Amino acid sequence: MALNASTQIAHPAQQVIATLSDRDFAEHLTKVANGTLKEFTVNGDVTGAFTLTTVRAVPTDRVPDFARKFVGASIDITQVEKWSAPAADGSRDATVQITVGGVPVTVNGTEQLTAQGEASQLAVDAKVTSSIPFIGGKLASAAEPYVGKALNLQAAQVDAWLSK
């Protein structure tokens, strides 16, 4: 299942990256999603290329019933983002991989943070897959809207975080 989403953030790309790589922001974003931050690691200097790994435990109360029987009351979601060093204008690209603990659902793709002067655009182009025979496609289809909602939530929270 293909996922393409983009959203505007009313702050410069450098500030967006600084926020995305801030543990306090990750804690805040996780609490907004009613989850628990289990791990947050930044490998490398965020002024250059770096890798961001986040593990969150999130409730499955909004997961469709047919999928919930596979995951239980909560799931661990691991997100690994490998960000490039900034271009001259501050834009960056990342590869992203999201795995769901205990469920063979993965998201693989790219993120693009495009500098637009005092604003930025954050875009995701990814594919949601599941290797469960017969129902894997249905499970991936069910997961896809949540990834889009997560991107929009993240962007709104980055905007609010930087505006305070």
Question: pLDDT tens for residues 38-96?
Answer: 999 999 999 999 999 999 998 877 665 656 666 667 888 899 999 999 999 999 999 99
Q: What is the pLDDT of residues 104-115, one digit of tens each?
A: 778 899 999 999
Cα–Cα distance measured from residue 2 to residue 130, given in angstroms and rounded to the nearest whole number: 12
Tokens of 75: 């799931």
Strand ranges of the sheet holding 119-130, from the earlier edge strand across to the other edge: 2-9, 119-130, 103-116, 92-100, 74-83, 50-59, 36-43
CATH classification of the domain holding 52 = 3.30.530.20
Q: What does pTM read for this prediction?
A: 0.87
Task: Give me the phi and psi of 46, to 5 degrees please.
Answer: -70, -5
Give the pLDDT confidence score for residue 111 in this predicted structure: 94
Range of the domain at 66: 2-163
Tokens of 78: 């691991």
Percent of the chain with pLDDT over 90: 52
Q: E strands within 16-85? A: 36-43, 50-59, 74-83
Beta-bridged to residue 68, according to DSSP, are none
User: How many domains, the chain?
Assistant: 1
Name the nearest CA neighbour of 4 among 116, 120, 127: 127
